Structure 1
Amino acid sequence: MKQPQGFEDKNKPDFVCKLSKFLYGHRHAPHAWFDRLKETLLSWKFVNSKADSSLFFYKIDTLIILVLIYVDDIIVTSNNLEKLKQFITKLNLEFALKDLGPLHYFLGVEVYRDHTGMYLNQTKYVEELLRKNSMLHLKPCPTPMTIGKMISISDGELLENPTIYRSLIGGLQYLTHTRPDLSFAVNKLSQFLKAPTTSHWNTAKRILRYVKGTPHHGLHIKHCDQLALTGYSDADWACCPDDRRSIAGYCIYLGDSLVSWSLKKQAIVSRSSIESEYRALAQVSAELSWIQALL
């Protein structure tokens, strides 16, 4: 380490500055902030989840308080409203907080409630995505992809500006957090980020047309007496025309609510449909084990 230019001390050339406070926006600031918040919660006898480092919980007898952290955005919930208010007040004395009340918007995800449970969607994010790509004028489409049409890496001509395609696919990937119906199409187009073509771009625009017609689609978290974990998996053997690898997917329900899903190309070529199915089962089993550890 060296002394900053213009602040050298000739009498003490080996001395360096001591950092007393991080500047907001510095690349190390989120890490320092999380460590500070973590130390405080642990001193209040909260426990950091081993399955998810951003989750802290406090559990004594019948009382439970859950704290979920993403940088400086925090979700707090509890089964005791009075204790919850006391915790928020205590946290506000330690940090400068802005309490936004009941959860209604978090990291682009909108939350609505009624007597049946919660609805999670990204309607505002969809509008921003369409506006960013100048596609608000598009006509809606009933499906995200053309049924029965295989997409290959060699279809069409190379795009002159692939950055636009990559930006759109990145935006669609974030949309799949509440839209499992887009997982297959977005995952398929994500495989062509290196050299996208006009055919891939047209397929991506079809997804936007489908999204425009279904902006309010999302997840429904329902009330259920039986909170059993149930997983389903499937695999399409050697379906990729470019490398003959299989595509595997799974979905996991907690009670009647969909809580986890995935669809991706398998890492290696399976020699039979049975092998591809077993690999899909291993994938969903690993996700089930993680959810059980989280719970």
Structure 2
Amino acid sequence: MSDLLNRAGMVDCKPLATPASTTQAVTPYDELFDSPTQYRRIVGALQYLTITRLNLLYVVNRLCQFMHTPAVEHWAMVKRVLRYIKGTLDYGLRLSCSPIASIHAYSDSDWADCPIDRRSTSGYAVFLGTNLISWLSRKQRTVARSSTEAEYKALADVAAEVTWVVSLLRELGLHTRQPSTLWCDNLEATYLCANPVFHARTNHVEIDYHFIRDKVASGEFVVNFVSTKDQLADVFTKPLPGPRFIALQDKLNVVSLTPCA
């Protein structure tokens, strides 16, 4: 992190509370940045930082979409991320001994949030006990025709990830054989997982997303509704105001790792 600030000439910059603005959309601009190589180097390095600083995942994912033609405004967004990093140099992902070994995951989607192609952003967070072990922020491959479809696709993404985690734990002899719990803040999407007839209007959804129904029917997964205020994956799908962002990063175990005096 210190090396990133040094390379960008921002060692003495003023810190910010959040890495992304809630009012500025990430779109193409006419005025191109005069040093695209520098933009690519800094954003490329930020991708490695998300291995432990997962609260940067959403904004870094967005900045990566303009690697070929970065604009002046995109560089300004990179500088905002670096100003946030300046104030959180001692932050990292906390892993601790967990009294439980069950798997639960949160999935979320911001419907049609991209102003360029109107595709939605999916995000998920997978916990093994109290420890966060997998996370994602990614633009969906196709345009969703409703918020239910976008949330259902996000559920399918996290279902695939949890299936892999369960398979790995079984090989290691560590799986508890309890069903994994998936939390979603869209009530219709949770109904769709258990009752395909309830939403006949979603027949246009691609077949490969429907495998989650088989997982629920077999008892491998339990899909439950969670209120939006308790949706931890919210941080992976959109920029958030300061108090909400700080509260979620704390619940995701991104905390100051500086030893107490």
- With the length of structure 1 as denominator, give the TM-score of the two structures: 0.56
Report how far residue 130 of structure 1 moved.
1.2
Is 1:165 aligned to residue 39 of structure 2?
yes
**Partner of residue 118, structure 2:** 244
Matches of 2:23 and 2:110, distance apart in 1:
13
- Report the residue type matching 2:18 in the other structure: T
Is 1:288 aligned to residue 162 of structure 2?
yes
**Partner of residue 257, structure 2:** none
Output aligned runs, 1:69-148, within 5 Å.
126-148=1-23
- Report the residue type matching 1:136 in the other structure: V
Q: Which has the higher contact order (CA 8 A, sep 6+)?
A: 2
**Partner of residue 196, structure 1:** 70
More helix by share: 2
SS in 2 for 1:222: coil
SS in 1 for 2:94: strand
Is 1:187 aligned to residue 61 of structure 2?
yes
Would you identify which runs of 4 or more consecutive aligned residues in structure 1 move more than 3 Å?
A: none
**Partner of residue 73, structure 1:** none
**Partner of residue 71, structure 1:** none
Cα offsets for 1:104-147 (capped at 9, x unmatched): xxxxxxxxxxxxxxxxxxxxxx1111112221021111110112
Report how far residue 149 of structure 1 moved.
2.2
Report how far residue 179 of structure 1 moved.
0.8
Matches of 2:74 and 2:8, distance apart in 1:
15
- With the length of structure 2 as denominator, give the TM-score of the two structures: 0.63
Matches of 1:216 and 1:187, distance apart in 2:
22
Output aligned runs, 1:40-51, within 5 Å.
none
Matches of 1:199 and 1:129, distance apart in 2:
19
- Report the residue type matching 2:126 in the other structure: I
- Report the residue type matching 1:131 in the other structure: N
Matches of 2:7 and 2:68, distance apart in 1:
22
Matches of 2:128 and 2:16, distance apart in 1:
31
- Report the residue type matching 1:176 in the other structure: T
Stretches of structure 1 that go unaligned for 5 or more consecutive residues are: 1-125
**Partner of residue 116, structure 1:** none
More strand by share: 1
**Partner of residue 257, structure 1:** 131
Cα offsets for 1:153-188 (capped at 9, x unmatched): 13x510122111011100101000001110111111
Stretches of structure 2 that go unaligned for 5 or more consecutive residues are: 170-261
- Report the residue type matching 1:141 in the other structure: L
- Report the residue type matching 2:11 in the other structure: L
Q: How many residues align?
A: 169
Is 1:210 aligned to residue 84 of structure 2?
yes
Counterpart of 2:96 (choices 213, 222, 228) is 222
SS in 2 for 1:221: coil
SS in 2 for 1:188: helix
SS in 2 for 1:134: coil
Matches of 1:258 and 1:292, distance apart in 2:
14
Matches of 1:227 and 1:166, distance apart in 2:
40
Matches of 1:145 and 1:184, distance apart in 2:
9
Is 1:152 aligned to residue 5 of structure 2?
no
Matches of 1:201 and 1:224, distance apart in 2:
41
